[in-house]
């Protein structure tokens, strides 16, 4: 099938490359000429394990192409996917749909009859109705269908998630559009990946509801971690004990400094705004958003308190800046609030991250980026593990301690055992233990 992907960012590029790997003929379109030039030279705009090799192999095979020409790219497509950004709108937290609607306008000007337009971007309920209205206003003479097909890709594991999904959600009431989507996803359907067909509005809500629920699980276990510290319990034992219940499950029950990234923060805010606009409060999600924001700021204060309540004249080394491992994404990363709290206290901050330092430097100009964690720790009064990269899971604790001036090791991901860190001479701080 001929597939056009409008938007060559994280979702569009991963999805386009995977569709091409299934054997489809894919064009990824983007208005950023520099990005398209780099992609044609096999230079990835993002870090995602396995993506560079996947793009190269399919581009070399002629199944994956890149273009800035939307009109030509959509003219002969069987399915056109909209995979542009929907960031939080300034002021009210609602999803900014300007890129989605602009894409719909341009698609409408060139799309042929009997084409399926697929909204892959995360959009509030009812957005598909507006996309359809825009295209129909431009081209009242053609038959087309607008379908919702939300993505469920985890950064750092996106290729595996696309090729081995828990489910594929397709929102449409149009029979022929359903047939097209079955053909698009036939390789996965044959592997018995469940395809859930719903109405378009139900599919749009499924995406927001899923992310809000996962954000709730994270926030719940973080609050249990705080309670564990007061009661002398161990949050890792609590997490395992409740996670073995099949009704709850073990995933997203790892205590830490709070959630961040490109999805949970903006999607929970967008869901809140949608609920408010429809006079249907979602009190649990409101509490989750508030608790998560407070938690990230509290992590910074926790480190300052470990330094005696005053960061002036102190050096802190941060290990891990991205919101999670295996990505260079800094959007709403907990490290941002932690760094700000440390700088406000007067501390000097140096940091290391395996992939995220270039992105982090753009938003943390007062933080020195160091190419080795042990070098970052030289003369430090405290080391803080913020992101659980594999590179930090087997540090030489004695070497780390010898490089430092102080003895504080704040492990915000509970990577290490208390006894091991204590024996190495650290004043060891963890979460919920």
* Mean pLDDT, residues 6-32 taken together: 97
Same domain membership, residue 335 and residue 186? no
What pLDDT, on the 0 to 100 scale, is given for residue 92? 77
Question: E strands of 93-177, at which residues?
Answer: 115-119, 144-148, 168-171
Report how far apart the first and last C-alpha atoms of the chain are (Å, whole number).
Answer: 53
- pLDDT over threshold 80, residue 358: yes
410 within domain boundaries: yes
* Mean pLDDT, residues 389-401 taken together: 97
What pLDDT, on the 0 to 100 scale, is given for residue 189? 79
- pLDDT over threshold 90, residue 20: yes
Instruction: Tell me the pLDDT band of 153, cut-offs 50, 70 and 90.
Output: very high
Report yes or no: 263 and 211 within 8 Å, Cβ to Cβ. yes
- Please, what sign has the CA dihedral across residues 417, 418, 422, 427? positive
Q: Which residues of 153-183 are buried (b: 16+ CB within 10 A; e: fewer)?
A: bebbbbbebbeebeebbbbbebeebbebbee
- pLDDT over threshold 80, residue 297: yes
Same domain membership, residue 298 and residue 187? no
Indicate which CATH number applies to the domain containing 133.
3.40.50.720
Cα gap 200→18, rounded to integer Å? 24
Instruction: Tell me the pLDDT band of 81, cut-offs 50, 70 and 90.
Output: very high
- Indicate the helix (H) or strand (E) that contains 211: helix 200-231
Instruction: Tell me the pLDDT band of 192, cut-offs 50, 70 and 90.
Output: confident
Instruction: Tell me the pLDDT band of 17, cut-offs 50, 70 and 90.
Output: very high
What pLDDT, on the 0 to 100 scale, is given for residue 18? 98
305 within domain boundaries: yes
381 within domain boundaries: yes
What pLDDT, on the 0 to 100 scale, is given for residue 191? 75
What pLDDT, on the 0 to 100 scale, is given for residue 89? 83
Cα gap 204→181, rounded to integer Å? 16
| Active-site hit among 28, 228, 263, 421 | 263
- Treating both helix axes as pointing N-terminal to C-terminal, what angle do 200-231 and 235-243 enclose, rounded to 10 degrees? 140
CA-nearest of 189, 190, 184 to 81 is: 184
Domain that residue 324 falls in: 290-429
Q: CA–CA distance from 203 to each of 95, 127, 144, 147, 388 (Å)? A: 17, 11, 19, 9, 33
* Mean pLDDT, residues 187-199 taken together: 89
Report yes or no: 69 and 75 within 8 Å, Cβ to Cβ. no
Same domain membership, residue 172 and residue 38? yes
Cα gap 301→293, rounded to integer Å? 13
Q: How many domains does the chain have?
A: 2
How many beta carbons lie within 10 A of that of residue 310, not counting itself?
12
Same domain membership, residue 307 and residue 189? no
How many beta carbons lie within 10 A of that of residue 302, not counting itself?
17
Instruction: Tell me the pLDDT band of 93, cut-offs 50, 70 and 90.
Output: confident
What pLDDT, on the 0 to 100 scale, is given for residue 414? 98
Last residue of a domain, one of 198, 226, 244: 198
- pLDDT over threshold 80, residue 30: yes
Last residue of a domain, one of 163, 183, 198: 198
Same domain membership, residue 181 and residue 44? yes
Last residue of a domain, one of 198, 231, 264: 198
- 423's CB contacts (< 8 A; 6+ apart) are none
The whole-chain average pLDDT of the chain stands at 96
Q: Which tokens go with 1?
A: 């099938």
What is the per-residue pLDDT across 214-243, written as a single tens digit (0 to 9) for each? 999 999 999 999 999 999 999 999 999 999
* Mean pLDDT, residues 388-395 taken together: 97
Q: Which tokens go with 237?
A: 């034992």
Q: What is the DSSP string of 14-51?
A: HHHHHHHHTT-EEEEE-S-HHHHHHHHTT--SS--TTH
Helix (H, G, I), strand (E, B) or coil at 432: coil
Cα gap 304→188, rounded to integer Å? 50
What pLDDT, on the 0 to 100 scale, is given for residue 425? 97
Quote the percentage of the chain above a pLDDT of 70: 100
Cα gap 341→316, rounded to integer Å? 12
- pLDDT over threshold 80, residue 91: no
Same domain membership, residue 184 and residue 305? no
Instruction: Tell me the pLDDT band of 387, cut-offs 50, 70 and 90.
Output: very high
* Mean pLDDT, residues 343-362 taken together: 97
Residue 263 among the catalytic residues:
yes
How big is the CA angle at 47 (ends 97 and 251), to the nearest 5 degrees? 80
């Amino acid at each position: 099938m001929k597939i056009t992907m409008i938007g060559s960012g994280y979702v569009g590029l991963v999805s386009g490359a995977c569709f091409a790997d299934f054997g489809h003929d894919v064009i990824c379109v983007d208005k950023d000429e520099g990005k398209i030039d780099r992609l044609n030279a096999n230079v990835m705009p993002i870090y995602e394990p396995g993506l560079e090799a996947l793009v190269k192999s399919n581009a070399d095979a002629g199944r994956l192409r890149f273009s800035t020409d939307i009109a030509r790219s959509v003219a002969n497509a069987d399915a056109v996917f909209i995979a542009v950004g929907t960031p939080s709108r300034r002021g009210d937290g609602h999803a900014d749909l300007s890129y989605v609607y602009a894409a719909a306008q341009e698609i409408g000007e060139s799309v042929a009859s009997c084409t399926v337009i697929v909204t892959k971007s995360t959009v509030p309920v009812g957005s598909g109705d507006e996309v359809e209205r825009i295209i129909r206003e431009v081209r009242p003479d053609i038959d087309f269908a607008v379908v919702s097909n939300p993505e469920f890709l985890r950064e750092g594991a996106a290729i595996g998630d696309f090729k081995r999904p828990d489910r594929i959600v397709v929102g449409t009431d149009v029979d022929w559009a359903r047939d097209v989507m079955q053909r698009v996803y036939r390789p996965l359907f044959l592997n018995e990946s469940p395809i859930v067909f719903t109405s378009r509005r139900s599919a749009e809500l499924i995406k927001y509801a899923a992310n809000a629920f996962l954000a709730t699980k994270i926030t719940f276990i973080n609050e249990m971690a705080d309670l564990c510290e007061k009661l002398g319990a161990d949050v890792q034992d609590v997490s395992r004990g409740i996670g073995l219940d099949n009704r709850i499950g073990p995933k997203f029950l790892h205590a830490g400094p709070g959630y961040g990234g490109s999805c949970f923060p903006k999607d929970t805010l967008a869901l809140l705004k949608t609920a408010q606009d429809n006079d249907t409060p979602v009190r649990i999600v409101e509490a989750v958003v508030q608790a998560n924001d407070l938690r990230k700021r509290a992590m910074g204060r926790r480190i300052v308190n470990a330094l005696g309540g005053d960061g002036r004249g102190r050096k802190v080394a941060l290990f891990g800046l991205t919101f999670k491992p295996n990505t260079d994404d800094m959007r709403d990363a907990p490290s941002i609030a932690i760094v700000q709290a440390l700088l406000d206290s007067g501390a000097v901050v140096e940091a290391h991250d395996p992939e995220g330092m270039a992105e982090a430097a753009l938003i943390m100009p007062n933080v020195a980026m160091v190419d080795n964690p042990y070098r970052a720790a030289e003369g430090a009064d405290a080391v803080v593990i913020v992101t659980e990269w594999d590179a930090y899971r087997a540090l030489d604790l004695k070497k780390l301690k010898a490089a430092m001036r102080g003895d504080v090791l704040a492990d915000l991901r509970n990577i290490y055992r208390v006894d091991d860190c204590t024996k190495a001479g650290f004043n060891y701080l963890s979460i919920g233990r």
